Amino acid sequence: MLGRRMLGRSGVGVSPLGLGGAAIGGLYEPVGARRAEDTVRRALERGLRYLDTAPHYGLGRSESRIGAVLSGVPRDGYVLSTKVGRRLRPLRPGEPPDPQGFADPPPLRRYWDWSEGGIRACVEESLSRLGVDRLDVVYLHDPDDHEDEVYATGYPALAKLREEGLVGAIGAGMNQTAMLTRFVHRLDLDVVLCAGRYTLLDQGALGDLLPECARRGTSVIVGGVFNSGLLADPRPGAPYDYKPAPPDRLRRARAIARVCAAHGVPLRAAAMRFPLGHPSVAGVIVGCRGPEEVDDNADLFARDVPAALWPDLRVTGLLDPAAPVPAKEPT
């Protein structure tokens, strides 16, 4: 079983490798309920005790499928995070679906609600879908166009839920670092979820977010360690940030893969392990759409990564010289 790393001063600890819930919500392609639930069970068996989800993922499907499994698991056997900002409502007559990348969507629609009442209602709705009475972590989800609302109502509402004990740790999750850095500077956050900006391919978070997190004692969870797929399979047409990878990113990913291969290390193994070298990073999450993908990721995460790999990436200009590198074994 993987050990736990604490999130700031919250008292909440996560496994260094966690399960991201977007894939089992049907991101890009459908996943049946039984297969999704088997994926969650396998993750818990393999030590991926940190489960991250959101109402956005499959319009509630991800949360409901995780909840179906957790009903038979002791509450101290997992750490659970979800997100607020997007709520769900039934489609109106004649209103078209808005899948936003999720296959076969149910007849629901997302809408933004950053009000104090909306944040509380979003948490309560997630608790119902998940079948639990408290949440370990709640993130403000993708507030790129809602920064003022976060300061005015979103964050205060979430902080109040933390004070009440309904939520253990609070944070924000985004695909950019600039706003996350401002949040860490201005707000009392336990953790941030940074997607795609601290990977083997993109170490942008080193310039702003990670130094501010270190200064404030805020933990970081890294999502998107494969940059939407390019670091999983660097082939022409592979996605980077949810779009076809530009030629320069494809060339760089292939160069990283060649250095990894020279050390006998699968690219995905290095990609999962790299972020954990930074002392502010508490864990990484990976999406899996079947039990066999859980096994594959867990096995790769446990692989030995030779210490010589990291300086070879640096000397070829493929890794920022300022990036801390991981210890030999994940803990």
CATH code at position 180: 3.20.20.100
* Interatomic CA distance for residues 150 and 291, integer angstroms: 37
Whole-prediction pTM: 0.97
Structural element, H or E, at residue 212: helix 209-216
Last residue of a domain, one of 153, 170, 187: 170
- Checking DSSP bridges between strand 135-141 and strand 108-112, what pairing results, if any? unpaired
**Structural domain for 148, as ranges:** 18-170
Helices (H), 83-191: 116-130, 147-149, 155-164, 178-186
**5: in domain:** no
Supply 296's token pair: 């594959």
Q: Please indicate, yes or no, whether residues 91 and 189 belong to a single structural domain of this protein.
A: no
**253: in domain:** yes
Q: Please indicate, yes or no, whether residues 166 and 186 belong to a single structural domain of this protein.
A: no
pLDDT by residue, tens only, the chain of 331 residues: 467 999 999 999 999 999 999 999 999 999 999 999 999 999 999 999 999 999 999 999 999 999 999 999 999 999 999 999 999 999 999 999 999 999 999 999 999 999 999 999 999 999 999 999 999 999 999 999 999 999 999 999 999 999 999 999 999 999 999 999 999 999 999 999 999 999 999 999 999 999 999 999 999 999 999 999 999 999 999 999 989 999 999 999 999 999 999 999 999 999 999 999 999 999 999 999 999 999 999 999 999 999 999 999 999 999 999 999 998 655 5
Q: What is the pLDDT of residue 66?
A: 98
In the 8-state DSSP scheme, what is residue 236? T
* Interatomic CA distance for residues 90 and 108, integer angstroms: 4
State how many domains the chain has: 2
* Interatomic CA distance for residues 70 and 129, integer angstroms: 11
Q: Which of 28, 50, 57, 242 is catalytic?
A: 57
Last residue of a domain, one of 170, 188, 208: 170
* Interatomic CA distance for residues 52 and 49, integer angstroms: 10
For the question of residue 57 being annotated catalytic, the response is: yes
- CA 184, 164, 146 angle in degrees (round to 5)? 40
* Interatomic CA distance for residues 39 and 168, integer angstroms: 25
For residue 238, give the amino acid letter.
A
Q: Please indicate, yes or no, whether residues 61 and 187 belong to a single structural domain of this protein.
A: no
**242: in domain:** yes
Contacts 24+ apart (CB under 8 A), 295-298: 295/42, 295/46, 297/17, 297/268, 297/272, 298/17, 298/46, 298/47, 298/48
